[in-house]
Structures are given as C-alpha cells and as structure tokens.
Structure 1
Amino acid sequence: MLLRTAVGAGAGVLAGAGFALTLEGFTRYCHLRPGRTGCGVPLPVFYPPVFALWMVVAGVLIWAGFRLARQERGWLVTGIGNVLWAVLIVGVVWFESTQLNLYQAEGVQFLLAAAVVVPGVAYAVAASAAGRPRR
C-alpha cells in the first residue's frame, strides 16, 4: 500500500509541477504589473487542454509506476485521481478567492504551490484506495 501511495504521489507531483510550469511559462506576462495590461479573454480557453494534457501524463506515469511495482488497477487510479484533482483544485481556487485576502502576486504563488501539492494528494489518495498488488 505504501508503494502504491508513493507512486501516486510522485506521479501527481510531477504532473502538477508540469502543469504549474506550463501555465506560468505561458501566462508570465499576464500578471498585472506596471507596464502590463493582462492577457484578456482567451486565457481561460488555454487551461482545459493543458490540464487534460497533464492528466494524461499523470496517467502514463501511474501506469508505468504500477507496472514496475507489480500493482494492478493503474487506469482506475488514474481516473479517480483525475476527478479528485479537478474537484480539489476548484475547491482551492474557491478558497483562495473567497477566504484569503492576498495581493495578486501572493495569490499567484499560492495557486502555483497548490497546483503542485493538490495532484500529489489526489493521486496518492486514489492509489491507496483503488490499487492492489498483482497476484
């Protein structure tokens, strides 16, 4: 069980870091600072495809990790982890926007940290709950 959880957490953290770095790389100039006007409306259209891409990457990492660790149900873990990741990240964004009074730069740093931690937690929980050793 510990090995499954470690594989899930590792895959989640790697996928979350890739997601955060991709968004930061493409939206670096969107943060309002002196001389910058923001990115406008098309940016929210960019999030779902990037999110889906990193979910696929996490699925491949979990599948490969489960194969190496001789575990079963890697794709079920991926599906549950994807749903948990989506639900938890919406909850974190809601919490940040309604409960925390952060400046824009602090909010961005909080969300980038959450983008790395949340998928690690989601896939670790999914792997510990749904995976099982091969017989």
Structure 2
Amino acid sequence: MCTLRSYPLPPRRHPVMSPDSEGTTTTSAGGSSRARAQGLRVIQGEGRRKEEPLASRDAVARALMEAGADLLLRRITPARAQEIERKVDRVLDLFDRVDRAPVLMPVLKRHLDELEALMRETREVRAARR
C-alpha cells in the first residue's frame, strides 16, 4: 500500500505571514514590543567562560572538544592534544569501571584531578599565546 497522498496539498504559507501567527508578523525597526521580546536576549558574560569542574562524563567530553578546537585553531600542539585525548580516554574508561566497581572511585578522582590540572595548564598556555 502506498503512503503517498494522491490529492494535492494546499500551498504552504510563510510562517511569519500565516494568520495563526498571532501578531508576530515582521515590522519595521520601530516594531511592537512583543516582537522585540521574542527576539534574541543578551546574556552578560563579561567575555569569560566559567571554568567547569570535570565531575561528569559530559564535562570530560567537553574538555576533549575544547582541546580539539584548540588544536584546529593551532592554539595547542598536537602532542598536548594527544596527551589530553589519552587522559580523557582513560577517565571515560574509569567512569565505566566505577559503575561496575565503586571501589575504584579514588582512582577515578585522581585521574580527574590530573586531567583538570592538564586542562588548566593548557588554558594558561593558550592564553599566553594570544
């Protein structure tokens, strides 16, 4: 049985111009306050990223992505990126092992501290190269 419809679909309307958009149509620069309220919002971050503690798999994965971006932008050397990758692999493996044997938590904590120190040092090196 064919799932395609044999009758034509009605023409699609642009979402901004559709009648069910309830007053969210595009306006000139002096548009309504409702249209402005739905736009982008500026978050004051002072240009600095908050340093995240490496306490979860996600945080460790973000550290690896940060190192990859730094390598692509030539902020760090391939050797440093490889060392970070090696430590991240070890830590992720330890996360899995701790799930099965919680007695390994002190080992995981030690490796997390080492990775965090390496990332701190990497950020300092990166900042010095700018």
TM-score normalised according to structure 2 size: 0.32
TM superposition score normalised by structure 1 = 0.31
Larger radius of gyration: 2
* Larger RCO (CA within 8 A; separation ≥ 6): 1
Structure having the higher helix fraction is 1
